[in-house]
Amino acid sequence: MKISQLSRKVLHESFVDISVDKLGISDVVSQADQAIDDTPAGQAIDRFVGVPRTARDTGVWGGVMYSRELEDAWSETPSSQSLKIRQTLQQAFAPVRLALQAKFGDTITLYRAQAHVKHPAPTRTTLSWTSDPRIAAWFSGIDPRLMKIKPISDQDIQQALATYTKTGRVKWLGKTYQRTATATNDSSLDEFYYEIYDRDGEMLTDGDDLSQQFREDQQYYQELVSKRDDQLAKVVKAEIPIADIIWITDRAGQSEFILHNRTGARGYIDAQGRKISS
């Protein structure tokens, strides 16, 4: 299922914080991260995520992802070193898995930004998902502020114009439109000019056709919504088996769930970037 197919209510709620911090598992996740410090397994996670465990504390917000070690560890033929990494991570993650199962049962809803792969490589054995759809939207190329935008209806415009006609003042899209005492002397326009003020009460400019102004805003918002929904089509959602979760970390504020991307599992992504199962 794609997030663009969800209801507007769910899309709006996707701007609510459902990060690892809010899932109620942040303490046990942090303990697991600390447990693998200075081990090959910890270094493999650091390189897969792209930042160290202390990233949020030290202000490191970006890095280079290197997935080969985890890819090998969860492959069908891991090297001896990679197998040790896998066993270390499984042992350290066990308390997190128990906490997840106690809170969510056998599955948890996760999201991932996934584009079509033009030049398929071998299918990945490990992939990053997130519990926070805002993060997935960000990775699909959407400014988080656009998640709160909704289309402007004709009724919205009519109500705003009615308020302005009655009171000489109306708030619209964060700005205030105030009627002036200067007549336009043009029967095709509003009878009076209006001035536009920002949120701080500073005058921005004036105008003489409020209806046209609102129609232009309506068209602009529709273009933004359409572009956003096109990008949202890249965001996939799945009920992921908790048994397939390798690791969780919020070290960069990304609520990242590293999954074993295995054939036939829910949320499996193939070499072409297609989600095969729900």
Residue 277 lies in a domain: no
Could you tell me if 65 and 96 lie in one domain?
yes
- Give the model's confidence band at 147: pLDDT under 50 very low, under 70 low, under 90 confident, else very high: confident
Task: Report yes or no on 211 lying in a domain.
Answer: yes
CA distance 277 to 123: 15
Q: Do 29 and 161 lie in a common domain? A: no
> Is the CB of residue 267 less than 8 Å from the CB of residue 238?
yes
Average pLDDT, the chain: 85
Q: Is residue 23 part of a domain?
A: yes
Integer Cα distance of 152 and 135 in angstroms: 26
Q: Please report whether residue 271 resides in a domain.
A: no
Is residue 210 scored above 60 in pLDDT?
Answer: yes
Count up the domains in the chain and report the number.
2
270 part of a folded domain = no
Residues 93 and 27 in one domain: yes
8, 125: one domain:
yes
Same domain, 14 and 30: yes
Q: Which domain holds residue 220?
A: 154-229
Q: Helix 210-232 vs helix 154-167: angle between axes, to the nearest 10 degrees? A: 150
48 occurs within a structural domain: yes
**Domain shared by 213 and 88, yes or no:** no
Q: Is 0.85 surpassed by the pTM of this model?
A: no
Q: End-to-end alpha-carbon separation of the chain, Å? A: 7
* pLDDT given for residue 271 in this prediction: 83
Do 120 and 43 fall within a single domain? yes
Give CA–CA dist 84/13, Å, rounded.
41
pLDDT digits (tens, 9 = 90+) for 57-82: 776 656 678 899 999 999 999 999 99
Residue 265 domain-assigned (yes or no)? no
